[in-house]
Amino acid sequence: MAETLRLMAVHAHPDDESSKGAATMARYVADGVEVLVVTCTGGERGDILNPAMDRPEVLANLPAVRQAEMEAAREILGVRQEWLGFVDSGLPEGDPLPPLPEGCFALVPLEEATGPLVEQIRKFRPHVILTYDENGGYPHPDHIKTYEISAAAFDAAGDPDRYPEAGEPWQPLKMYYFVTFHRERFEAMHDILLAHGKESPYLDWLAERSPRGEGPRWPVTTRVPCGDFFEVRDAALIAHATQIDPNGFWFACPPDLQREAWPTEDYHLARSLVDTELPEDDLFAGIREKVGT
């Protein structure tokens, strides 16, 4: 009997799973793939970014509110979800930057922080892991730490001498970085809005990013067609009501125009233990043949 394919996405905070790779996950769920989101922290030190939710009772109960938002998004996407239980580090601001708060995720020693993720990998047995690059996608200390434990756990999970208390060894076969917020994608959405006589909010964003023609930090190796699931992604984003303004930047380009301009979510293949030919359009390229799907 063919083995069920399994995909794990490792994220720093609740809402990250809906802004990076959500349509991909929904597409694979529809294809019968088992998908697990691992959320490293509870987002306890996040700001309220939606003015409609900036209320004292929400701020006073922010951890519980964000857990409820995560559950709603999880159900919309059709995925499973597990918390690693680390405490949000917050995003330090100022010059000089203030020290990180004691006990936060970013300050947990790497060996200690990696153990719970190794346990989740061995329990779920994913063939593919999605995570951030070494810069975290952007330099938030929790995103950088998420990369560090993902890279370490990819190697440790298959080693019977590492974390023997964490379950039977399991070796994932591929690890990808999200390549979500790259200039080429936003230029395409900017251009299609103008072509349809609509106002584009992306000009200032593009002006602050890398020059035209300069590629993303990591080259895109894999473009997953998932335009049919953009509405699912948007619904999951809106479920994170403290973080996402439904009238904001995220929804400036309607899904039908996004499908026309950029119908994929994009990734960089960082590690592979199977043979695959680049570029890819499937995260499981090279794995389907190996497991007999």
Please provide the DSSP assignment of the chain as one string.
-PPPPEEEEEESSTTHHHHSSHHHHHHHHHTT-EEEEEEEE--TT-----GGG--HHHHHTHHHHHHHHHHHHHHHHT-EEEEEEEPP-----SSSPPPPPTT-GGGS-HHHHHHHHHHHHHHH--SEEEE--TT-SS--HHHHHHHHHHHHHHHHTT-TTS-GGG-S----SEEEEE--S-HHHHHHHHHHHHHTT---SHHHHHHHSSPTT---SS---EEEE-GGGHHHHHHHHHH-TTT--TTSGGGSS-HHHHHHH--EEEEEEEEESS---SSBS-TTTTTHHHHT-
Task: Specify if 82 maps to a domain.
Answer: yes
Residue 215 has pLDDT above 70, yes or no: no
Task: Specify if 209 maps to a domain.
Answer: no
- Note the pLDDT of residue 213: 54
- Note the pLDDT of residue 186: 93
The enclosing domain of 131 has a CATH number of 3.40.50.10320
Task: Specify if 207 maps to a domain.
Answer: no
Q: Which domain holds residue 251?
A: 6-181+216-291
How many domains does one find in the chain?
A: 1
Task: Specify if 259 maps to a domain.
Answer: yes
Q: Is 143 annotated as a binding residue?
A: yes
Q: Is 196 annotated as a binding residue?
A: no
Kindly indicate the confidence band of residue 137, based on its pLDDT and cuts at 50, 70 and 90. Answer: confident
Q: Is 15 annotated as a binding residue?
A: no
Q: What is the mean pLDDT of residues 8-19?
A: 98
Kindly indicate the confidence band of residue 95, based on its pLDDT and cuts at 50, 70 and 90. Answer: confident
Q: What is the mean pLDDT of residues 67-82?
A: 98
Task: Specify if 206 maps to a domain.
Answer: no
Q: What is the mean pLDDT of residues 45-73?
A: 93
Task: Specify if 1 maps to a domain.
Answer: no
Task: Specify if 201 maps to a domain.
Answer: no
Lowest pLDDT segment from 51-60, 109-118, 211-220, 246-255: 211-220
Task: Specify if 168 maps to a domain.
Answer: yes
